Amino acid sequence: MRILLVEDDDRIARNVEEALTDAGYLVDRECDGEEAWFKGDTEDYAAVILDLGLPRIDGLTILKRWRANGRAMPILILTSRDTWMERVEGINCGADDYLPKPFKMEEVLARLRAIVRRSAGLSVPIITIGALSLDTRQMRVTRDGAHLNLTPQEYRLLSYLMHHSGRVVPHSELLEQLFSHDFDKDSNAIEVLIGRVRKKIGLDCIETRRGFGYFIGRDE
């Protein structure tokens, strides 16, 4: 999943970006408030990690603008300003969670996974659809209890579809979430990736809706 990381402290940003990448996320990183606001307002992200003390436009202003424009992606605020009044303001402005600095990277990842799950209507870290189970904490996929050996890219694809189960995910959305901006959008990379994943999880698990996208049904 594609994450927007907005942090002007280069050391913190590099450490968080590395942890997110290791955890299987695709990361766009910004240090400037105006650039961050524009990206979050014009591109689709699975979630945003947002610092408050930014140059040009502060984080709370960015958050208010996004929500006023109907941008609904989950947002985790990171800040060194640890006052209860600011936490309340951030939540009231539309933040999904709040983490003061300094922080442990494990907590950043746990809170990020939690807000992504909640935005998808999921309450537990293990997503189960039919015989498939995906553990978001361990990045582990099983079918009927047997471990499936997926590559990082295959895991990202399946994870995104399972987080958005019950709806058709367009081809263009998968390209946006799984590949860098300079990737050839006319390639058949998604079709190839879908084919590889189907061979590992079962041909009947991912349904192709011609002209619309791909579908995994949600367990009732």
**Tens of pLDDT, residues 74-84:** 999 988 766 66
What's the CA gap between 200 and 143, in Å, rounded?
Answer: 9
Residue 220: its pLDDT value, please?
Answer: 44
What's the CA gap between 117 and 47, in Å, rounded?
Answer: 10
The answer on pLDDT for 118 being more than 60 is: yes
pTM: 0.80
User: Angle between the 105-119 and 10-22 helix axes, to the nearest 10 degrees?
Assistant: 60
Residue 82: its pLDDT value, please?
Answer: 61
* Residue percentage of the chain with pLDDT more than 70: 94
Residue 89: its pLDDT value, please?
Answer: 81
Residue 182: its pLDDT value, please?
Answer: 65
What's the CA gap between 23 and 159, in Å, rounded?
Answer: 12
**Domains observed in the chain:** 2-119 (3.40.50.2300), 126-215 (1.10.10.10)
